[in-house]
Amino acid sequence: MIYFEELMKKAENIENPLPKVLAIGGSPRKGGNTDIIIKQIVAGLTAEQIDCENINLGSIDFKGCIGCEKCRKDKVCTMINDGMSLLYPSILESQGLILASPVHNYNITSWMKAFIDRLYCFYEFDNNTRPRDWSSRLANQKRKVVIAAICEQKDLADMGFAIEAMSRPIEALGFEIVGVLPVFKAFEKGAVKKQEEIMDKAFDLGIKLAQSLK
């Protein structure tokens, strides 16, 4: 309870986030192509002396949003006490964000979807209107994000909705998209390392993200 009280206070009084980055990987495969892309983006951040916390969602025990609306009062999700609860401080404090997911059935993974859904707690709604007017408490804080989607197939149509599924909700929350990286022909573990152009683009995106935070 003490932890939640501190978290609620922090969430209610969001101050300017720090110029550091939280990287979120939506792949259940540890050390796979998604993790490799994230590490390459982080290498670009490191070259610009920007700190980054790297989280693989497959290693966290957490649930999706249950729509209880308790966060309307608490300003953060307090109904579910799980691994996501431990991520909220980093989300609040980090000005930069990396979202990377492999493509599962033309979309992001269930882990990434659950993570994004649990960000619902940062919305404010006007209960006097129908449909309700809304805003985000993460907006207007110069928050930036880089998005990457990794698939086995060869073109954007095969990637389906993956990029949009990350881009639209994160923009709605107030993040500016610094860059998007679609990655193709990457299924076998480590296959993306052979795509020098993609690896270079990932590194450059890290630099671009870092410079946008300065």
Q: What is the pLDDT of residues 147-156, one digit of tens each?
A: 999 999 998 9
Average pLDDT, the chain: 94
Banded model confidence at residue 103, pLDDT cuts 50, 70, 90: very high
* Residue 127 scores a pLDDT above 90: no
Structure confidence by residue, pLDDT tens digits, 45-83? 999 999 999 999 999 999 999 999 999 999 999 999 999
Domain 2-212: what homologous superfamily?
A: Flavodoxin domain (3.40.50.360)
> What single DSSP character describes residue 136?
E
The per-residue pLDDT for 126 is: 87
| C-alpha separations of 188 from 43, 99, 107, 185, 208 in Å | 22, 21, 19, 9, 28
Structure confidence by residue, pLDDT tens digits, 161-209? 999 999 999 999 999 999 999 999 998 999 999 999 999 999 999 999 9
Other CB atoms within 10 A of residue 85 CB:
17
Banded model confidence at residue 2, pLDDT cuts 50, 70, 90: low
**What is the enclosing helix (H) or strand (E) of 171?**
helix 162-172
Residue 199: what residue type? M
Q: What is the mean pLDDT of residues 134-145?
A: 96
* Residue 102 scores a pLDDT above 70: yes
- Cα–Cα dist 16/31, whole Å: 33
For 196, the 3-state DSSP assignment is helix
| C-alpha separations of 150 from 34, 89, 103, 173 in Å | 7, 28, 6, 23
Structure confidence by residue, pLDDT tens digits, 3-43? 788 888 888 888 789 999 999 999 998 899 999 999 999 99
